[in-house]
Amino acid sequence: MRIAFRQAASILKKAAHAFLALTVITGCSTTNVPPAFADSSKYAAIVVDANTGKTLFSANADAGRYPASLTKMMTLYMLFEAMRAGRVNKNTPIPVSAYAAAQPPTKLGFKPGQSIPAEAAIMALITRSANDVAAAIGEYLGGSEQRFAQMMTAKARRLGMKSTVFRNASGLPDRSQRSTARDMAILGIALREHFPREFAYFSTKSFVFRGKTIRGHNRLLGRIKGVDGIKTGYIRDSGYNLVSSVKDNGRKVVAVVMGGKSGATRDAHMAELISKYLPRASRRGGSNVLVAARDTAPVPIMPVDLPIAREAPVPVARADIEGISGQGDADDDMAMALAEPAPRPAAAVAVASIVPARNAELPDGVDPVTTSSARLAAASGGWAIQIGSLPSSDQAQATLAKAAAKAGSTLSAATAHTETFEKNSTVFYRARFVGFKTKTAAWNACAVLKKQKFGCYAIAQ
């Protein structure tokens, strides 16, 4: 009898452990929600192994949330891309229009007609989360902030952020501007992989602008070992948000916490997640890390129903709206009137090259901006196929584009992807399609491509 009882108890215990593991993986159970967030409808969190894309922890990760100033991560992604393309350099003056200057705090307090160098603009977004600077960047790169928001949304789709819509460059309140914790993790990984040099900006704690020291809001920098960015955010409807990047002893994770009741509560939960899940991350590194190509082609605009620039409402002063600040972790809520009169007229607004998209879907063919976070995005799967190793990114992308055109519907569910590796001090670019769910599907795709005279073999991921 006792033996039978022990056996039954053991079975129940194992079943309970299995159920608990399942709930952690799927993020569907309220047992994932810490007590401090138990009564919050805004809470969401995720921890992702940035080496592999594996989800280590998930709670409400796919639930719609307001990104608040996490939005500025995409604004910076777009600016970094423009800098890499040669359209902007560190000293390029970004003009501040009357519209941008009218943004509510937190901001630097520019007057219309002044300008800010691109590198200082980067620092202002990362540390002070300046809304006037975010709007100015949007106008500079997109012609108007509304147009820029369409470009941001199109870029989000290309990165695998399926649940994100941007309506402005700052994260100031807009009921239609939505994202998820998972999408923010994808964006964090994409920033890290596509712009490793520029990513160092996210570790900035403070910078000096026109004689004034501007301090940042990310209090985990320097306090939690390995934390090297990324961004905080707050509006009343979102609660306190944070995306953190951590790198320690070969392990890398990107973690997201959304919906904190205070900055301190949010930071404490993020510290707990890092402490618990960083040791579970892989130590993959070097040439095994998937580094994706960036998109240097014109960005198709998603046909999101946005107001045209002349009809867009000018933001009201902070005093008129409670909790409207795009960045709620500020030490004070006053605007920072640091800008001095510009010695000459601001540069004319540069309009980015834009290719309209006829339908809500992006054009068929190769998506050249898929990141290694594709493993995190739904398009990823357990198998990939490789069709070549080329000496340049452009050649790899051209090979992928040609293969996609030849293969037709065979590759409709796959995602084009490049990764680098080094041999004899020379960098090569692997041309791959990822996202095959089974070995058979990958082999079948290779069979089609081989008939079109492409070399091809399947790879388990």
DSSP-derived pairing of the beta strands 354-356 and 383-390: unpaired
Residue with tokens 């620092």: 123
Provide the 10 A C-beta neighbour count for residue 124: 27
Angle (deg, nearest 10), helices 71-84 and 181-194: 20
**Residues 6+ away with beta carbon under 8 Å from 202:** 126, 191, 228, 229, 230, 231, 245
Six-digit token pair at 188? Answer: 């964090």
SS3 298: coil
Cβ 119 vs Cβ 90: under 8 Å: yes
Which of 58, 97, 115, 129 is flagged as catalytic? 129
Cβ 45 vs Cβ 273: under 8 Å: yes
Cβ 74 vs Cβ 84: under 8 Å: no
Measured in degrees and rounded to the nearest 5, phi and psi for residue 50 equal: -75, -10
Q: 69 an active-site residue? A: yes
Six-digit token pair at 355? Answer: 């290719």
* Residue 252 labeled ligand binder: no
Provide the 10 A C-beta neighbour count for residue 31: 11
Q: What is the DSSP string of 234-267?
A: EETTTEEEEEEEEEETTEEEEEEEEEESSHHHHH
d(CA 227, CA 247): 6
CA distances from 118 to 102, 134, 206, 335 (A): 20, 11, 16, 20
Q: 97 an active-site residue? A: no
Q: 276 an active-site residue? A: no
d(CA 212, CA 204): 15
Which of 69, 170, 179, 245 is flagged as catalytic? 69
Which of 42, 72, 107, 155 is flagged as catalytic? 72
As annotated, the active-site residues are: 69, 72, 129
Which residues are annotated binding-site positions for substrate? 231
Which residues are annotated binding-site positions? 231
